[in-house]
Amino acid sequence: MDKKKLLKKMKKNKKITHQPSYIERIKHYYEVFSDFSDIKYLLNNILEADRLLQQNQLPQDLPELLLPDDIQDTIFAFVNNKYPMGDPKGDQVWNEYVDNLPKLDKDIREFRDYLEDEYGMWAYISAPFVNDLAKFLNGHKVLEVMAGNGYISKGLRDNGADVICTDSLAWTKENETGKHLLTDVEALDAIEAFEKYQDDIDYIIMCWSPDGIDIDWRLLSAIRESGKDIALITIGEKYGATDSKQFWDNAEFIENDDVTKLNQHHQRFDLIDDQLYFVK
């Protein structure tokens, strides 16, 4: 057999295996655990968030995406009540649950990773959160820096807010999700954007400044040195997954009812505890 025929035969006999996508796996868990409302509630939230993001809409708030501590006991009691002891069918059902449970636990904990990879959404920005933020801004002009794909600016613009949306866009050359901007984004880094628009704005929004990079501290320093009455609204995890140590060390936080109210729709859903802060 010549080489060309051999390659053709090998290609024909090669078994193509489909690796289920993240959402396909979530839908599979929904079928497997259809008798457990606590699990379906978490999965429904994931599926609905994905559905809205596919349509370039902001999702709703998420609950904490963690399985109940006693979920295995709940499943065991369910199987025992439904099948007599020693029933092979009961053993089969139990084994399916036990096989899928750790995979389910891992996947729901990694929903943020899916959002980052699929949509370029690093901070989870919900429609209720942005609605509240737009009401707070109340017609004041705002500059968003490091806007990424523009989730916050899009939500604010949809609510009639006057927003200048900027990002360096340097990361889009290496990241596929950066080719799917949700709104118009002007290619400026944070310092360039501030220098260009400082005379025209009342607020700056900075969401999830990169961990360990001091652009956030340089921006805060520039605001202070300008002497302008511009409030900085930052969203991030203090001394955690976002921003630089210099920024957190030097930020002066304003605590008031507005901060508390705005954080009502920005609650943690995984291990990252990011919040909204007013900084001066």
147 shares its domain with 211: yes
114 shares its domain with 205: no
Q: How far is CA 217 from CA 180, 211, 223, in A?
A: 28, 12, 10
233 shares its domain with 253: yes
Work out the burial of residue 118: count CB atoms within 10 Å of its CB; fewer than 13 is exposed, 13-18 middle, 19 or more buried: middle
pTM listed for this prediction:
0.89
Residue 172 has pLDDT above 70, yes or no: no
Contact (Cβ atoms closer than 8 angstroms) between residue 87 and residue 95: no
| Residue 1 included in any domain | no
Residue 1 has pLDDT above 80, yes or no: no
CA 60/CA 89 separation, integer angstroms: 39
- Judged by average pLDDT, the poorest of 1-10, 90-99, 155-164 is 1-10
Give pLDDT, residue 136. 97
108 shares its domain with 202: no
pLDDT confidence bin for 173, thresholds 50/70/90: low
131 shares its domain with 102: no
Domain final residue pick, 96, 119, 142: 119
pLDDT confidence bin for 18, thresholds 50/70/90: confident
Domain final residue pick, 77, 99, 119: 119
pLDDT confidence bin for 163, thresholds 50/70/90: very high
| Residue 4 included in any domain | no
Closest by CA position to 125, among listed 182, 172, 86, 76: 182
| Residue 162 included in any domain | yes
| Residue 11 included in any domain | no
HEC string for the chain: CCHHHHHHHHHHHCCCCCCCCHHHHHHHHHHHCCCCHHHHHHHHHHHHHHHHHHCCCCCCCCCCCCCCCCHHHHHHHHHHHHCCCCCHHHHHHHHHHHHHHHHHHHHHHCHHHHHHHHHCCCCCCCHHHHHHHHHHHCCCCEEEECCCCCHHHHHHHHCCCCEEEEECCHHHHCCHHHHCCCCCCEECCHHHHHHHHCCCCCEEEEECCCCCCCHHHHHHHHHHHHCCCCEEEEEECCCCCCCCHHHHHHCCEECCHHHHHHHHHCCCCCCCCCEEEEEC
100 shares its domain with 225: no
211 shares its domain with 263: yes
| Residue 14 included in any domain | no
Angle between helices 71-82 and 37-54 (to 10 degrees): 120
Better pLDDT: 150 or 174? 150
| Residue 2 included in any domain | no
134 shares its domain with 265: yes
| Residue 101 included in any domain | yes
Domain around 157: 127-279
Location of structure tokens 């020693």 = 86
Closest by CA position to 46, among listed 66, 26, 29: 26
107 shares its domain with 214: no
Give pLDDT, residue 170. 83
Q: Residue 56 — left, alpha, or beta (φ > 0 → left; ψ -120 to 50 → alpha)?
A: left
Which positions ≥6 away from 82 have C-beta within 8 Å? 90, 93
Domain final residue pick, 119, 154, 178: 119
Residue 42 has pLDDT above 60, yes or no: yes
146 shares its domain with 258: yes
Instruction: Write out pLDDT tens, residues 46-85.
Output: 999 999 999 999 999 999 999 999 999 999 999 999 998 8
Q: Angle at the Cα of 227 (from 223 to 230), degrees rounded to 5? A: 55
When divided into structural domains, the chain yields a total of: 2
Residue 217: CATH number of its domain: 3.40.50.150
CA 26/CA 106 separation, integer angstroms: 11
Residue 123 has pLDDT above 70, yes or no: yes
134 shares its domain with 34: no
Contact (Cβ atoms closer than 8 angstroms) between residue 179 and residue 117: no
| Residue 58 included in any domain | yes
194 shares its domain with 108: no
Residue 3 has pLDDT above 60, yes or no: no
Residue 4 has pLDDT above 70, yes or no: no
